[in-house]
Amino acid sequence: MDAVGRAGWIFLFIPTFLLIRGVSSSAALEVASLKAVSAAWGVGLEGVALATAGQWVENVVAGAACGIMDQAAIACGEENRLLPIVCQPCQVHSPILLPRGVRIWGIDSMASRSTMSVAYERARAAAFMGYKMIGQRLGIEMVPDSGSTIARWTDSRWKGYLSNLAPSEFRSRFESWLPESLGGREFLSSVGEHVDPFTRIAPDEEYPVRAAVRYASEENHRVRMLFALLGSTWVDSGRCLLLAGELLLQSHMAYTECGLGSAACDELVARALDAGFPGAKMTGGGGGGVVAVLGTEDSRGAMEQVAREFAGQQGALPHLFEGSSAGADSFGVRMVRVRPGQRNQ
């Protein structure tokens, strides 16, 4: 749930070859550049270190309040595998195969999204606001994490990650207490600054505090459930597929609750469900971008039909992603020698 700042388990549902189409394009450029430059200088930059360097560039140089999901997937992904990541701050687990016959497609909604958008930064800041409010209510001190490469705060109970707050505890102790919406000025006067180094609280802005905290807690739980489901034996493949699809749909709806909805993505999800797919969801930071659709290997024709129907509405054919390629570490570095005076045509 990298989108709202306090991340736990995630799966990357978008292809890890990452074409320059707004599908983690900035992270793709960062990792490719860092990989090439480090190789040229004889520096072995790979894995989590490579991903962290890319995130640092986004956070500190570009000023984008992104997490590490995209960079980790691009650096550590493997061909035709899902990549389980715990963003605390970045623990990459062994890539896994989908169960036999299961497929995931990505379809471009053609609605642009950005980790520097007002909606994204509002949702992320709201999660940090809720995190600080809960900490103050329980008397838990939040302090800068001196051991982190990327600036962040931590605490003795959740280690700085709202995703470590169990949904049952959130529901029973904090959901009704947290405000559904809270103005920035009111928060600053009653609580003080939040603890996110990469977003600011605007006094005149309203923040969806309750929904953002709920997302951080429940999205981590959903992904853990999906991870367990994918790792189990699909005795009843139809039922398991429906359960997995429901988890994706819940995640999609949670984006809207945080103010990160997208009419184009909602349309694609609705069309996928009408076509018989068990589930679909927005990916990344929400608010647009690519929709992941869960299905089976014999439903490619139905997926292409969804794309054609959506094109008829939008006036352009959306790009359809399927499968994934090797990440930067698996692909490695290719040396290209250019003769003096040779120019690209």
Just list the catalytic residues. Answer: 70
DSSP output for 117-131: SHHHHHHHHHHHHHH
Other Cβ atoms closer than 10 A to 97: 11
CA trace torsion 12, 16, 22, 26 (10° rounding): 100
The residues, ordered by sequence, that sit 6+ positions from 262 with a Cβ below 8 Å of its Cβ are: 109, 111, 113, 255, 282, 286, 287, 288, 289
Closest CA to 178 of 219, 136, 220, 118: 136
DSSP output for 240-300: HHHHHHHHHHHHHHHHHHTT---HHHHHHHHHHHHTT-SEEEE-TTSSSSEEEEEEEGGGH
* Helix, strand, or coil (residue 193): coil
Helices (H) and strands (E) in the chain, counts: 11, 11
Largest pairwise CA distance in the chain: 70
Q: Are 291 and 265 in contact (CB under 8 A)?
A: yes
Q: Are 30 and 20 in contact (CB under 8 A)?
A: no
Q: Are 244 and 229 in contact (CB under 8 A)?
A: yes
CA trace torsion 151, 154, 159, 161 (10° rounding): -60
